């Protein structure tokens, strides 16, 4: 296994492609967005977690290249699918990107290839959806191919845990495939954990992020209690965390965004309903999370009396501090709710800079209210002067 194709060059695919190239594999990264492919080939990184230098080094070494054209790819040994798995408008699992990836790689598959899915999916998807889809589109019987599922564990901007040192879960359709998958990842990942089935690995990934969704949504409910009771939620958490066992710190926020936590649990919830074992915790946590922008809109209205024609500055539009990622950001819902109430809303985020066809507005003291939605370290709150501040991370 020497030639690798990574399908999807975003926050998951690009770090994997770069790490595989550094370890000696010949890697081609494929992204249907030609602008991303061209950017990478010119030595520029489209994501913050990978530097331009890292990209340029691998491009220059000829161990890595990017393309948007599948026709120029041949003799690939390992295909790693790292495409998005979002939700439909009905908030159901959307496998459109996986389907398209399979349709594009199928003509260049050969007997003995290893196909690894890293995208988050419902339990049973690799076995019951991906493998039959590959067989159907490639015309190759599954017994002549290898299939594996290895869920991504990327946390953008995390300085302590990255692709190489985060334990990697792997699973495969058959024992031989598991060994090949282990050999592939072990060249650039330090710790690999073998799962006994595809479904174990798929469910483990969903459990990880369902755990976080439920606990963050719960702490947001405690936040609302503390706000009503006029005590500081952060001090409550700090004191609870002095217990050396049985407690884990979670912190309140405007809501949960990003490519995992607001989405992945609903893949588990959907499967649970399908097999007649509905998950009430996930559904309730999802509801609490999606209602947080409404809650803070109400808080803003209480502070100002009413929001009609009030000038409001929202600080931070990314889904988490110190990143430029706006996927599933709850700030969008907050702004829409404020505008429904008649408020005139600007936003400031010099990390994101451009969003929804608008540019980041400068901070000043001419607003009726400022809402700290995503607290980037670079913010200088002195710029808003005496403007009242609603901090979505603390209750007083």
Q: What is the pLDDT of residues 181-204, one digit of tens each?
A: 999 999 999 999 999 999 999 999
Q: Is residue 98 within 8 Å of 81, Cβ to Cβ? A: yes
As a whole number of angstroms, the distance between CA 217 and CA 303 comes to 24
Give pLDDT, residue 84: 95
Task: Give me the pLDDT at residue 293, please.
Answer: 97
Reported confidence tier of residue 259, pLDDT bands at 50, 70, 90? confident
Give me the mean pLDDT over the 119-148 stretch.
97
Q: How confident is the model at residue 273 (pLDDT cuts 50, 70, 90)?
A: very high
Percentage of the chain exceeding pLDDT 70:
100
Residue 109 in contact with residue 140, Cβ under 8 Å?
Answer: yes
On the 0-12 / 13-18 / 19+ scale of CB atoms within 10 A, 15 is buried
Give the pLDDT of residue 123: 98
Strand pairing of 114-117 and 78-81? parallel
**Structural domains for the chain:** 3-196 (3.40.50.720), 211-391 (3.40.50.720)
Tell me which residue of 375, 392, 395, 369 sits closest to 316, measured CA to CA.
375
Half-sphere exposure of 96 (CA within 13 A, CB side): 6
Per-residue pLDDT, 52: 97
C-alpha 180/C-alpha 116 separation (Å) is 11
* 314 close to 371: Cβ distance less than 8 angstroms: yes
Tell whether the model's pLDDT for residue 72 goes beyond 90.
Answer: no
Return mean pLDDT, the chain.
96
Q: Is the pLDDT of residue 303 over 80?
A: yes
Confidence check: pLDDT of 1 > 90: no
What does the pLDDT read at residue 157? 83
pLDDT band at 396 (very low <50, low <70, confident <90, very high): confident
Name the percent of the chain lying above pLDDT 90.
95
CB neighbourhood size of 61 (10 A): 10
Confidence of residue 395 (pLDDT cuts 50, 70, 90): confident
User: Would you state the pLDDT for residue 246?
Assistant: 96
Q: Are 133 and 104 in contact (CB under 8 A)?
A: no
Asked if 260 is an active-site residue, the reply is yes
Per-residue model confidence (pLDDT) at position 229:
96
Buried b (16+ CB within 10 A) or exposed e, 183-219: ebbeebbeebeebeebbebbbebbebbbbbbbebbbb
* Distance of alpha carbon 316 from alpha carbon 323, whole angstroms: 10
Cβ neighbours, 10 Å, residue 238: 11
pLDDT (mean) for 57-65: 96
Could you tell me the CA-to-CA distances from 98 to 93, 126, 276 in Å, in that order?
11, 10, 26
The pLDDT of 240-252, averaged and rounded, is 96
User: Terminal CA-to-CA distance of the chain, rounded, Å?
Assistant: 57
At 362 the pLDDT is 95
Per the residue annotation, which of 82, 195, 226, 260 is the catalytic one?
260
The Cα-based distances of 276 to 126, 209, 210, 270, 271 in angstroms read 21, 21, 19, 10, 9
The pLDDT tens digits for 348-374 are: 999 999 999 999 999 999 999 999 999
């Amino acid at each position: 296994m020497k030639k690798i194709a990574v399908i999807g060059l975003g926050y998951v695919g690009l770090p994997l492609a770069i790490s595989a190239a550094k370890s000696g594999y010949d890697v081609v990264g494929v992204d249907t967005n030609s602008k991303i492919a061209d950017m990478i080939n010119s030595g520029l990184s489209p994501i913050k977690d990978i530097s331009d230098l890292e990209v340029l080094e691998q491009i220059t070494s000829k161990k890595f290249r990017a393309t948007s054209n599948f026709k120029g790819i041949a003799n690939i040994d390992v295909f790693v699918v790292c495409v998005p798995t979002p939700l439909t408008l009905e908030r159901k699992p959307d496998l459109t990107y996986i389907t398209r990836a399979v349709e594009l790689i199928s003509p260049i598959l050969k007997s003995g290839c290893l196909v690894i899915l890293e995208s988050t999916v419902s339990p049973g998807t690799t076995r019951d959806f991906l493998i039959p889809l590959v067989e159907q589109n490639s015309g190759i019987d599954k017994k002549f191919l290898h299939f594996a599922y290895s869920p991504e564990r990327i946390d953008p901007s995390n300085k302590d845990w990255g692709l190489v040192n985060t334990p990697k879960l792997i699973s495969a359709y058959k024992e031989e495939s598991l060994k090949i998958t282990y050999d592939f990842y072990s060249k650039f990942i330090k710790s690999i954990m073998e799962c006994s089935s595809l479904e174990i690995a798929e469910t483990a990934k969903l459990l990880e992020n369902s755990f976080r969704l439920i606990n963050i949504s719960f702490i947001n409910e405690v936040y609302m209690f503390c706000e009503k009771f006029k005590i500081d939620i952060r001090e409550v958490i700090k004191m609870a965390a002095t217990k050396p066992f049985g407690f884990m710190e979670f912190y309140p926020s405007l809501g949960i965004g990003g490519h995992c936590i607001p989405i992945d649990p609903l893949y588990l919830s959907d499967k649970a309903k399908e097999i007649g074992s509905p998950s009430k915790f996930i559904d309730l946590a999802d509801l609490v999370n999606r209602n947080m922008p409404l809650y803070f809109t109400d808080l803003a209205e209480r502070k100002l009396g009413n929001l009609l024609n009030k000038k409001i500055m929202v600080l931070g539009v990314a889904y988490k501090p110190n990143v430029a990622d706006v996927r599933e950001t709850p700030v969008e819902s907050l702004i829409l709710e404020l505008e429904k109430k008649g408020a005139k809303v600007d936003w400031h985020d010099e990390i994101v800079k451009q969003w929804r066809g608008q540019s980041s507005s400068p901070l000043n003291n001419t607003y009726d209210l400022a809402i700290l939605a995503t607290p980037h370290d670079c913010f200088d709150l002195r710029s808003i002067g005496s403007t009242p501040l609603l901090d979505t991370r603390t209750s007083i």
